[in-house]
Amino acid sequence: AGSAARWVAEWAEERHGRAMERNERNEAEEEDETRRERRREEREAMETKHLRLGAALEQFIFLTDVANSALTFLHLTHIWYLLGLRLGLVDAVIALNLHASASATARKVFERHRLCRLAGELHDKFVDANPVEIKKAAAQEDVCCICLGKLSVDVKRLGCGHLLHASCLREPN
């Protein structure tokens, strides 16, 4: 009877030990899942921040280009004003440079307008991917076929079901 009681005690202790190990593993898995979820949320927040910074940088570059062209135009106009209009070779060169500067500015403004209109059309034409589709794509380790980045923020669904970053759809090249 003593050996049976000892065997039962050992069995119960072993079973209790396995249960404790299982509980520790489950807790560790839950902590890992929480950490993964937190990292995913941090990555999405970082991607959103980068998208906003990219848009702000793009706007800054556009405004800088337009300001540069405008200053060049004003500079050439000022030189022409100081030299006076004599219809000579210098005047012809200044007139050509003024034309080139005005054309470049108009081209930049037109291109910006076209890109903004295109972005609006893309936004209207393609629907936003819902969170379930994005999580499914993340689980299958799908990537954007244009930039090969992970699909987590600002994702559009094409008519065929493919998912792409909206910013990749807007890229002119």
Name the pLDDT band for 99 (thresholds 50, 70, 90).
very high
Q: How far apart are the first and last CA of the chain?
A: 84
The H-assigned helical ranges of the chain are 2-83, 89-125, 131-139, 166-170
SS3 158: coil
Give the whole-angstrom CA distance, residue 173 versus residue 169.
Answer: 10
Q: How many residues does the chain have?
A: 173
Pairing of strands 163-165, 155-157: antiparallel
The answer, as to whether pTM is greater than 0.85, is no
Which range has the worst mean pLDDT, 26-30, 55-59, 168-172?
Answer: 168-172
Name the pLDDT band for 63 (thresholds 50, 70, 90).
very high
